[in-house]
Each structure stands twice: as structure tokens, then as C-alpha cells.
Amino acid sequence: MGNFFEWLDRNFGIKKPHRRFLYRSIPDGVNYFFCLGGIAFTLFIMLFASGLMLAIYYVPSENEAFASILRIQNEVRFGGFIRSFHKWSANLFIVAIVLHTIRVFVYKAYRHPRELNWIAGSLILILAFASGFTGYLLPWDQKAYWATEVGTSMARTVPLLGPYLCNFLRGGEDITGATLVRFYAIHVLYIPLFMCLLLWAHFHLVKHQGVKGGL
């Protein structure tokens, strides 16, 4: 394996342009709590990879969604493992981001000049919750249906825009197959796209501004 990476580096020159990003000094006061961001990113990669595998067999249809989940669970080789892997990675992803946000707040790393990075991280946290909410409907069972019913009904309480926001999320007045397709598109396309853009901005700002160590 080592020889393969050496051959790859000789042909593509991977190490040199990325050395400044990969090899960085660690400031005083940094401890294992500073690994939470990296753990969250690793879980995001796991979610992305397992989601790609599930998308091959999942059918975002009102009549086929639940049946495709059963097929993944019972018939596809390692399907149950991959589905559980995706589910638990999603739960741990949100936990890691929340703990990472708390760490940043406790260490006051949201202050100038890192306020823009704090905003980017907060948006990533919101997208993580949105990803969990949209993904919850995809099994298309009773628990998912009523959880989405309650969640989207909460949007109706927003002043002025509430009814329009609720209808936008549902794709109509009620939760139907159109809601399922809309949530599927948001979950597998729009949220990962914006998440990748925000993660790039987040890492770029960390590289540019450095890590704030100490309280």
C-alpha cells in the first residue's frame, strides 16, 4: 500500500501542494476536545459514502419507498448493516457538531476575527438538523409520517409566512408522495451540496485564521 501511494505521489504530486494544509503547528492549550470538528467531518464522509450505497436501492415513491427499505434490510447483501451504519453515523454526526459548537463557545472562539467562521459553523449545524429531519421521512412508515406531520405543522406557526412555509415543505396541503420526493431531493442533493460549500469555507477560515487554544 505504501508503494502505491508513493507511485501516486510521483505521478500526481499530491504531498507537496497539500503539505501546508496537512502539517500545521498546534497552539498551546489544545486538547482532545479540539478533535470534535475532525470527528464530525469523518462522520460526514461516512454518511456520504453509506448514503450513496443506499441510494442505489432506495425508491423515493409513495408506493415503493417502504418496500425498498424492506428490500435493503432483508435482501441486499450487507444492506441492514449499511442502513444501520448510516443511521448511527447521522446521530453521532449531530452529537459531534453540537459538542464542537459548545467547545467553540466555551473557548470564545466566535470572537473577532473568527466571527465569520462561527456563522459558517452555525449554518452547518442547522443543515445537520435539516438533514436529520428530511431523512427521517424516507422510510415512509407511520412513525416517519406523523413525525413529519408534527414537524411541518410547527412551521405553520411562523408569523405571516407560516402557511406558505408549511405548504412549501409538504409540496401541498397534506403529506403525500410529493412530500417524500421533495424531502428526498433536499436530503440527498441540496443539503449535501450546501454542506460541502460551507465545510470548504469553514476549513479555509480555520487554515487562514488558525486554531484558538486556551480559555
pLDDT score of 81: 97
pLDDT beneath 70: ranges in the chain: 1-2, 17-29, 213-215
The string over 19-56, giving b where at least 16 C-beta atoms fall within 10 Å of a residue's C-beta and e elsewhere, is eeeeeeeeeeeeeeebebbebbbebbebbeebbebbee
What class does CATH assign to 36-209? mainly alpha
Of 78, 113, 120, 70, nearest in space to 97 by CA: 120
CA distances from residue 17 to 14, 24, 162, 215 in whole angstroms, order as listed: 6, 14, 49, 33
**Closest of 72, 172, 91, 187 to residue 137, by C-alpha:** 187
The backbone region for 7, taken as left when phi is positive above 0, alpha when psi lies in -120 to 50, beta otherwise, is alpha
Task: Look at residue 39 in the predicted model and tell me its pLDDT.
Answer: 95
Can you state the angle between helices 79-106 and 36-57, rounded to 10 degrees? 150
Query: Quick one: angle between helices 177-185 and 162-170, nearest 10?
Result: 90
Distance, CA of 182 to CA of 172 (rounded, Å) = 11
3-state SS, residue 212: coil
pLDDT at 21: 62
Helix or strand or coil: residue 71? helix
| Cβ 166 vs Cβ 157: under 8 Å | no
pLDDT for the residue numbered 123: 97
